[in-house]
Structures are given as C-alpha cells and as structure tokens.
Amino acid sequence: MPRTRAILVDITQCIGCRSCEQACKEIHGFPKDTEAKLSPTALTVIEEHGDKYVRRMCMHCQDPACASACLVGALKKTALGPVTYDKSKCIGCRYCLVACPFNVPRYEWAKLVPFVKKCDMCAERQIAGKPPACVEACPTGASTVGWRDEILEEAERRILNDRKYVKHIYGSEEAGGTSVFFISDVPFDRLGFGAPPTERMPELSQAALGDVPTVVLVGGALLSGIYWITQRREQVLRAEASVESASSKEGGRS
Amino acid sequence: MNRFPKITLWRVIVAIIFAAGIYATYARFALGFSQATHLTDPQPWGLWVGLGTLCGVGLSAGGFGIAAAVYLLGFERYRPVVRTAVLVSFLGYMSVIAGMMYELGLPWRIWHPIFMWNRHSMLFEVSWCVMLYSTVLTFEFSPSLVEKIPWASIRTWYLHWQHRILIGLVLIGCVLSSLHQSFLGGLYLLTKGKLDPLWYTPHLTTLFYLSAIPAGLAVTVMALYLCVRSLNMQVNAQIFGELASVIAPMLGLYGIFRAVDLSTNGAGPYLLRWREESLSFWAEIGLFVIAPLALLAFDKVRNTPQYLYWTCSLIVMGFMANRLNVSITGLQACSGVYYVPKWTEFAATLMVLTAAVMAFRFAVLYLDILPKRTAPRRWMVASTTAEA
C-alpha cells in the first residue's frame, strides 16, 4: 500500500485557542463565528470536556463507511489518504450521514440546493505538498501531519514514554483504522469519543452484496426449473384431457 | 346542480390531505428541508425514508409474490387476483419514486446512479433493482391499459408480445424483488454500533425479505376486500381464505427466524428493559407476529373476509412499526436527538398515498382489474356456493 498522510492530535498539548477552527473557516470562506458543534460551516471544532479541549473532524477512515455507502461514488478515499467529496455527483440521499461511525458528515439542511459538508484534510493543499490549514495554524504542535506509518510510530512513542497517556491511540483500530489519531491523558469515553466497531465498516455489507450473483443465478435457475415443471404438468394434463375427450367422442359414436 | 361535485365526508378529507400536501410540497421545494422537516444531522433519515421508502417498497411485495405463484408455480386459483396484486405493487412503486422526489436533497439528479456507479454500495444495488423492477411492473401492468386502446391491430400486436415475454418478466421481477427487498435491510448493516441490538443483526437482509412477503400479501388482501366492499367488485371468498393460509405460515417463519436471531445475537437482556426501544419492539412483534398468528389460527377469521381484513391491517401496522423502529426508534439513542416528524412530513407522505389510493380506485373502476359484481347481494356467498 502506498504511503498516505495522517494527522495526530495530542489532546494533552491543546490549549483551546481555536486557531485550527479559524484557519479552516478562513480557507473555506465560512463566517468566522465560533461554533460548538460540527456544522456545514464548521468542519472542525474544539469541544470542551472539563478542562480538556477535543478537536473534532472527519477521521478519514482507511476504508470509509461513507465511501462504501455512497451510491454514486461521490465520496472517495484518495490515494494520499484524505476522504474527499465530489459535489457534482451527490444526489442528496444522506446515506453517508447514516453510515458514518463517527457521525461526522453534515448536511446543508437550510439550503435549497443542499450538499454534504465534511473535512477533506485539505486534500488539494496536501497534493501541493502543503500541510492542512488547521495543522499549519496550530501554535502548540497539538496537531501534526505526516506519513501515516511515521505518525503512528510517533504516537506510540509518546504514549509509551510518558506515563500520563492513556495506552490507546484512538483511530488505530476504530472503524478498521483511520487517518486521524488522538492521544490523551484522559480516557476517551470521557471526552465524548464513541466506540465504533473495530472491523472495516464496508465489510459489514460486503457479505450480503457478494450474494448478488448467487441469488441471480441460483434463484433464476430455480425459478426457471419450477416454471418448466409447472408448464410441463399443464401440457400433460391438457394432452390427457384431449385423449379422454377423443375417446369419449369415439365411445359416443359407436 | 350537477356541475358541482357532491360534498361528501371522504371528498372533504381528500381535499384537506391535498391542501396540506401541496403546502408541504411548497415548503420542501421553496423553503428547504429545515422548514419542511425535523431532520437533523444526527437523524438524517426520517419519515420519508422510514415510511415512504422502506414501508412503500415492502408493502408492495404482493405483486411479485402473487405473480410468481400464478405464472411460475402454477397456482391457478390466484389468477383472478393477479391483476389486483400487480396494480397495487405498480402504484406502490410509483409512490415510492414520487416520495423520492421529496426525500432526495437533489431530486433532479435521481438519474445519477444510472451513469455513476459504486458497486460497493448497498444503496446502489437497491436503486438499480427499484429502477428495473418498476420497469418490469409497468410491463406487467400494461395490458390492463393497452386493452383499452381502440385500435385493434396495435392492441393485439402489443398483447401478443407482452404475453410472450411475460414469464421472463415475472422471473426477472422475482429475482429483482428478492434482491432489493432484502437489501433495504442491508442498508442498515453499516449502522453497527448505532442501531439498537433489538434490531441490528447481520441477518437484517433475510429478515427484511421474510417480513416483506406476508406484509405485501396482507396489503393485497386489504385491497381486494376494499374492492369488494366499496367498489362492487367480485372476488371469490375462497381466495381470501387461501391467501390467509399462506400469510400465516410466512409470519410464523419470520417469527421463528426473528426469535432465533434475537436469542443467538445476545439481544436477550434488552428485551425486558423499561425503555422506549423495548416497548416499541413489543408493539411491533405483537402487531406483526403474535396478534395476527393468534387470530389466523381461527377458521372463522381466515374464512371471513371482513375479519381477515382487520387481521391484515394489524399485519400492515406491525410491518410499518418494524420499518420505523429500524429506521427511527432503533437509532434514536445514539443520535442524541428525539425526532418527531414535522406535520409537513406526514402531509407529503399522506398526499402521495392518497393519490395512489385514488389511482387504484379509478383503475379498478375503469379498467378490467376484477370482474364487476352484476347482481348485488349475491356476492361472495353466491360464488362459493356456485363452485361447491
């Protein structure tokens, strides 16, 4: 697998300055007001949990549920890692919102031509070799970006070398692995993190989808077979009936 | 005097439904989702998906069931009702497609799945099956309309060819129906960890399929009964009894499958907790499986069309409870919002449904769907005794 980009968020280093929020709004041209929750105009937000600041954003799953859900393929896992959204394909079914194990995508409910909104990890900037706007804006280094394998090693190094960290990298196994990781000194469930399944989400529906050829072939063959028997039985009945009527006619003549 | 139609209670109700529905349509397309619905990011699918799509498609399963019974399995005794069943399904799918226009954010792009493929998407498979099956249903239903064409040559030519490909159509329809009825359940396979354990199971596909058939047949029974009761049509009373004796074992099969699935799934502890999900679950099971099975055990219920009608209405309600539980109740806890549909959501759905019922009525009255009752009073009793 080619190397992909990933973001590491170290919750112990976040001071809640919201520079990431502002940078994100800046680059997307959204109004600058601070928002408490993710919204169509806030693709990353700082949530306060006690004295901790938790950044929320798209987790950019390795095998995203949203991309497998999207019937027109508007959502895609790109080669470089970000999960991107092609608004020209979207039909507005919102299955991605239903499918996302982290409840990240947002919908423009108030608009007459509504689209899905979610972080795309500044995919275009990253292709150009620049870091995502939020990471670039972070003054403390709480958010860092790099190659996924190196970022994971760095996260592991930090939680192993410092006893204050919870011994888990959030995102390393959630939903089959993501491209955004969190490390923290407070258990994740107390910071509003969900506990999604650890398998790759699309696999949940792949087994059923894999049955399509079987259903078509076996079902089709079975039904055709049954139909053949049915119509054969009818033919026989009809033949018998005509023989009977013929003989009864003969009987009548004699 | 005759210029103005007579005002009756039903006409007033229909007028109110349409007035409300037209406002809902205005709200949806001129004001947007946030004015027309109570949908939010944590609850992105509401009544329009739960009732309009999931129930709409499921309750229209009667057409493929009866068509398969008559044309493929050779159960000739259902032939008199095959047109009614196909008509119900056809109108059902048309309503689902009409409902899609409200439900999709960008309905003018509804054709996108034809050209933009994602073979890994359950919804992609569903959309293709619904598209193809609606086409199949249109062909299956078409003779009822074509018969009325005054030009004999076109009529005979069309009916000849339609008859020749009919078996193929029914066969394809069966496969397509089996696929998308189950895949509607498959949509929720991705909600593992979100959907309540009383409904989440890897066998959602099978459960959706097994429940759609008896529910579809129950709708067929209800439609037939209404044709006899209010539209002066003639239906052999035996057919009701026979449909009932097909519905009962299918409900039983579903019940057993559901019970086994729940017990092997570790959902047991959730069954008896005092919470909304568990109550909704028991309401669903009571309406869909327990009450109908108990009622259908009586000969008198199976053989009295009126009793059977009410039993079938329980089945339909139970089925709707199931689909709404999967799509709304079961996801409530994880979403953190308490979704109650806005009145405009009900109004739009109700208008589409009312339009379908009216279309059904006109089709039965003006097309040859069922034989018309010639002498009133003699109905079903007469036909049964005549055959016996």
Q: What is the pLDDT of residues A121-167, one digit of tens each?
A: 999 999 999 999 999 999 999 999 999 999 999 999 999 999 999 99
Beta bridge pairs of residue A46: A55
Closest-CA distance of chain A to residue B4, Å: 39
Chain A contact for B165 (CB, 8 A cutoff): no
pLDDT less than 50: residues of chain B:
378-379, 381-388
- On whether both A198 and A215 belong to a single domain, the answer is no
Are A198 and A87 members of one domain? Answer: yes
- Closest CA of chain B from A200, distance in Å: 10
Q: Say yes or no: A27 and A139 in one domain.
A: yes
The answer to whether residues A147 and A220 belong to one domain is: no
Q: Are residues A161 and A238 in the same domain?
A: no
Domain containing residue A123: CATH number: 3.30.70.20
CA separation for the pair A57, A239 (Å, rounded): 74
Say whether residue B76 is in contact with chain A using an 8 A CB cutoff: no
The answer, for A92 touching chain B at a CB cutoff of 8 Å, is: yes
In angstroms, rounded to a whole number, what is the distance separating the alpha carbons of residues B230 and B152? 32
| Whether A242 and A139 share a structural domain | no
Closest to B175 (Cβ–Cβ): which among A38, A103, A219? A219
Which of A67, A212, A227 is nearest residue B72 as measured by Cβ atoms?
A227
Considering its fold, how many domains does chain A have in total?
A: 2
B216-227 pLDDT, tens digit each = 999 999 999 999
Mean pLDDT of chain B: 91
One domain, residues A42 and A92:
yes
Domains of chain B in start order, with CATH, are: 17-373+379-383 (1.20.1630.10)
* Domain match, A46 and A154 both: yes
State whether A21 and A89 are in the same domain.
yes
**Least CA distance to A218: which residue of chain B?**
B175
pTM of the model: 0.91
- Indicate whether A60 and A43 sit together in one domain: yes
Q: For residue A28, give both structure tokens.
A: 């997307």
With CA atoms as reference, the chain A residue closest to B203 would be A208
> Do the Cβ atoms of A207 and B202 come within 8 Å?
yes
> Which pLDDT score is estimated for B32?
94
Do residues A231 and A187 share a domain?
no
Pull the structure tokens for residue B183: 């895949």
Residue range(s) defining the domain that contains residue A149: 5-204
CB atoms B113 and A194 under 8 Å: no
Determine which of A75, A108, A199, A209 to mutate to test the interface with B (most B C-beta atoms within 10 Å): A209
Nearest to residue B235, comparing CAs of B55, B22, B82, B27? B82
Cα A90 to Cα A86: distance, rounded to the nearest angstrom? 7
Are A127 and A101 in the same domain? yes
CB distance B346 to B47 below 8 Å: yes
Q: Which residues of chain A have pLDDT under 50?
A: 252, 254
* Candidates B54, B77, B123, partner chain A, best to mutate (most A CBs within 10 A): B123
Neighbours of B245 (CB within 10 A): 12
What confidence score (pLDDT) does residue A47 get? 94
CB contact under 8 Å between B167 and A194, yes or no, is no
Confidence at residue B2, expressed as pLDDT on a 0 to 100 scale: 62
